[in-house]
Chain A
């Protein structure tokens, strides 16, 4: 039996409150929308989402598939954990492949080599193909300013686009899930979690995340003040000397533009301590793509990006 730690018998810790809120939201999606799926990249936030989904329906299985938009620019360690978790929980995995879309001429590789933007089209096509009208994701409002303004149930028109000025009011825990045919909803059950909450929860629950989140030795080089790991899709230029350093990844995205940070943190508890002390946001520290402009994320979201 459990005891409730903080403030006497009838109060919840902040993690318990956030966990209950997320589980309520996931159950609401399944209760009211016919074809939901969970966006699942194998990154820490989506792993926490899957963990919450498993709890929400226990002892039954998770009643929806997981969807991975595969940029082809992957970290092998991440795919490994993705496949392991999918097998363990007995959920269906649906993959939308950016490489495949490029090969078929549906999208064109960008000059920068980043496949971040290309994901949008592949995401919309894959959701269409499988008829998913509610996509749950692990995006958090603390990640970025535009996300801070987004609803938990975020409504998209039939082009998958977000209109930040015309969002439905969200009152109490009464979520309006109604949509017309062709429209869809993105749902963010862990909107109210911060990076620190995620790591505290991973530590508390003993959740497995890909090894690259923990400190390890890696051959890296410096670019724009950030440390990039040498990878088949992320090669140093002639003027960028490589060296081996002790690093970890704070975020896991497209391997060609996700940077590592110097760190000695080898356990989830170490990372909790590190995140609590850090003075740089996770996207600011590690994402080449969000530094383009103040409104980079807002613009991508309007196009249908997660």
Chain B
């Protein structure tokens, strides 16, 4: 059994929480005490039917206001897969939450209301899925029961969406007509839409091929921690602990350590289960080298002929998450792989309107939830890849040094 992480984007109005509730309920992942608790709350509020959205809205304010504020994580398994759902709110003021949920997702579900068709919001969500390079996108056209299960409605939304997605960087798209409220095509196939021959949403999530999404080509091993036992039984032991971010590392491989460029050979790899011959993403392992080279946290082990760029000038898209706007000239802390440095925002090249995709090059600042292209200068070189090539070595966060808040998520376009 493997693990699939998916993010859902949409608002309560699109029926997103109902969809998740339906998935949990129909896959028998809801427990009786949880169900009794939400049935009681629904009854007390005078709802006509049990509001499955109550299953996911965990904070008091969310239940009181009937909205999703924050990313909630939900878990369920079928005999085929374990799933982690990052349930994110849909409104524009929660763009940062959706970016957060999408950053680790293998797949994303964008929901649209069949009655309304593509909204500004569904375009924005799709853009964010593309920006964060979520490998698989599902467009769930919901509330099909309210449009008489019409194939024409489905087709027209599907066509419009495919045209829109073609302008973005979407590699795998699946469109599924569903009714979250009644359960059609969520877990059970719909008998109301015989014209739809495709998989149900759950079946799709169970079978979508994710093994090839990881980068198994470019060896990238950011050193996280140096293990030195200081015990007589392991007197000379030096192990470099970290999580593989790309490629396959094998015992005997010739490698180099960046930024120093010192060459060595992999002497041993220790996985959580013991010694192994090879390691790949996302394994946490400890690597021993044959030579006594100087390696510390923030360094990266890679191959001689396949290296990340060692760069202090970084072009990136960032999603601004701070409550005070970002302006050029700002100095921030940056965390990239296991490296910490400081960064100066040299230039804001443009602000990207995430509804129209219009580039506003006259923007002087980025406000909360806005996305733009910036040029950064860092105090230490980063060992960077394009985000498109590797989400781990291409992503970074910016931190306000006064408040210690995480104020931006960044995706590297270019490094030099």
Q: How far is the CA of A304 from the CA of B130 in the complex (A)?
A: 39
Instruction: Tell me if B142 is interfacial: C-beta within 8 Å of chain A.
Output: no
Instruction: Tell me if B229 is interfacial: C-beta within 8 Å of chain A.
Output: yes
Contact with B along A89-116 (1 / 0, CB 8 A): 0000000000000000000000000000
Instruction: Report which residue of B41, B276, B282 has the largest number of chain A beta carbons within 10 angstroms of its beta carbon.
Output: B282
Residues of B close to A11: CB separation below 8 A: 2, 211
Q: With A170-B100, A174-B396 in contact, do A2 and B229 touch (Cβ < 8 Å)?
A: no
Residues of B close to A7: CB separation below 8 A: 2, 211
Q: Are A60 and B60 in contact (CB under 8 A)?
A: no
Interface residues of B in 369-394 (CB under 8 A from A): 391-392
Q: Are A280 and B32 in contact (CB under 8 A)?
A: yes
- A contact residues, range: 35 or more
Q: How far is the CA of A10 from the CA of B100 in the complex (A)?
A: 26
Closest A residue to B394 using CB positions: A172
Q: How far is the CA of A179 from the CA of B333 in the complex (A)?
A: 13
Residues of A close to B2: CB separation below 8 A: 6-7, 11-14, 17
* Cβ of A154 to closest chain B Cβ, rounded Å: 12
Q: Are B3 and A172 in contact (CB under 8 A)?
A: no
Q: How far is the CA of A54 from the CA of B97 in the complex (A)?
A: 34
Interface residues of A in 217-243 (CB under 8 A from B): none
Q: Are A146 and B58 in contact (CB under 8 A)?
A: yes
Which single member of B33, B37, B231, B243 contacts A173 (CB below 8 Å)? B243
Q: With A1-B277, A6-B1, A61-B231 in contact, do A31 and B75 touch (Cβ < 8 Å)?
A: no
Q: How far is the CA of A145 from the CA of B73 in the complex (A)?
A: 9
Instruction: Tell me if B270 is interfacial: C-beta within 8 Å of chain A.
Output: yes
Which single member of B77, B84, B99, B286 contacts A169 (CB below 8 Å)? B99
Interface residues of A in 163-180 (CB under 8 A from B): 164-165, 167-174, 176, 178-180
Q: Are B41 and A148 in contact (CB under 8 A)?
A: no
Q: Are B406 and A60 in contact (CB under 8 A)?
A: no
Q: How far is the CA of A59 from the CA of B277 in the complex (A)?
A: 18
Q: How far is the CA of A23 from the CA of B284 in the complex (A)?
A: 7
Q: With A31-B338, A58-B270, A284-B31 in contact, do A1 and B216 touch (Cβ < 8 Å)?
A: no
Q: Are A279 and B396 in contact (CB under 8 A)?
A: no
Instruction: Tell me if A260 is interfacial: C-beta within 8 Å of chain B.
Output: no
Q: Are B211 and A8 in contact (CB under 8 A)?
A: yes
Q: With A60-B231, A172-B392 in contact, do A1 and B276 touch (Cβ < 8 Å)?
A: yes
Instruction: Tell me if A192 is interfacial: C-beta within 8 Å of chain B.
Output: yes
Instruction: Tell me if A28 is interfacial: C-beta within 8 Å of chain B.
Output: yes
Q: Are A12 and B282 in contact (CB under 8 A)?
A: yes
* Chain B residues bordering chain A, tally (CB within 8 A): 80
The secondary structure that dominates the A interface is loop
Residues of B close to A284: CB separation below 8 A: 31, 33-34
Instruction: Tell me if B271 is interfacial: C-beta within 8 Å of chain A.
Output: yes
* Cβ of A298 to closest chain B Cβ, rounded Å: 6
Instruction: Tell me if A20 is interfacial: C-beta within 8 Å of chain B.
Output: yes
Which single member of B241, B274, B297, B397 contacts A176 (CB below 8 Å)? B397
Which single member of A17, A59, A178, A294 contacts B237 (CB below 8 Å)? A59
Q: Are B409 and A171 in contact (CB under 8 A)?
A: yes
Instruction: Tell me if B156 is interfacial: C-beta within 8 Å of chain A.
Output: no
Q: Are B33 and A280 in contact (CB under 8 A)?
A: yes
* Cβ of B322 to closest chain A Cβ, rounded Å: 10
* Cβ of A196 to closest chain B Cβ, rounded Å: 7
* Cβ of A293 to closest chain B Cβ, rounded Å: 9
Q: 19 additional contacts, CB 8 Å, given A59-B229, A284-B34, A298-B60?
A: A1-B276, A1-B277, A14-B77, A14-B82, A19-B284, A20-B272, A24-B224, A24-B284, A28-B224, A57-B227, A59-B227, A59-B237, A60-B231, A164-B59, A164-B70, A171-B406, A180-B404, A192-B84, A294-B37
19 A-B interface contacts by CB (under 8 A) = A7-B211, A10-B216, A13-B2, A16-B272, A19-B284, A20-B282, A23-B272, A31-B225, A31-B297, A145-B57, A145-B58, A146-B58, A148-B73, A149-B73, A169-B406, A171-B100, A191-B73, A197-B82, A284-B34
Which residues does A use to contact B, with CB under 8 Å?
Answer: 1-2, 6-8, 10-14, 16-21, 23-24, 27-28, 30-31, 52, 55-61, 141-142, 144-149, 164-165, 167-174, 176, 178-180, 191-192, 194, 196-197, 278-281, 284-285, 294-295, 298
